[in-house]
Amino acid sequence: MSTDTTASVSTHILDTSIGRPAEGVAISLAARSGSGAQWVALGGSRTDADGRCKDLPALPEGTTHVRLGFETEAYFLKFTESGALTESAVSAASAGQQAEAPQDAPRSRCGGAPFFPEVAITFTVTPGEHFHVPLLLNPFGYSVYRGS
């Protein structure tokens, strides 16, 4: 919710390597009031099953610059080359079972750690406006734009 003196921010992530929302990505939010001001960490959240982050902290009055930080490495490392979720494989192994991946599970295309372990997007905001900044993500690249 925005007022005449504050801006608001939202985001979502689409994993373009599988054409689906990226669930469970940690996102941090920081703000500052001017080019030379110090960044102030405001908190963060995680993307939901639809790749959306609906509960980012509110921006303080006077915010002019915003930084969204996306922890992409942990998201991509959840998947092994076989497509099995690493967490599932660990749980199954500790229970003496073989983990099976769903047929539509994402597969790592990066042969290990993704090239971009994190993404930081910095942009300017105007009081009274809402800024939606989607992230289109894959293990070897990303793009962003001002959405609606």
Query: Quick check: is 78 in a domain?
Result: yes
Whether residue 56 lies inside any domain: the answer is yes
pLDDT score at 101: 39
Confidence of residue 105 (pLDDT cuts 50, 70, 90): very low
Does the structure show a pLDDT above 70 at 91? Answer: no
- The chain-wide mean pLDDT, for the chain, equals 82
Residue 130 included in any domain: yes
Is the residue at 31 inside a domain?
yes
Domain span including residue 81: 8-140
Provide φ and ψ at 21, rounded to 5°. Answer: -60, 150
SS in 3 state form for the chain?
CCCCCCCEEEEEEEECCCCEECCCCEEEEEEECCCCCCCEEEEEEECCCCCEECCCCCCCCCCCEEEEEECHHHHHHCECCCCCEHHHHHHHHHCCCCCCCCCCCCCCCCCCCCCCCCEEEEEECCCCCEEECCEEEECCEEEECCCC
Residue 147: inside a domain: no
Domains identified in the chain, total number: 1
Highest mean pLDDT among 8-17, 94-103, 109-118: 8-17
- The per-residue pLDDT for range 5-45, each reduced to its tens digit, is 789 999 999 999 999 999 999 999 999 999 999 999 999 99
Domain assignment of residue 145, yes or no: no
Q: Is residue 110 part of a domain?
A: yes
- CATH code where residue 113 lies: 2.60.40.180
User: Does residue 93 lie within any of the structural domains?
Assistant: yes
Residue 123 is which amino acid?
F
Segment 76-93 mean pLDDT? 51
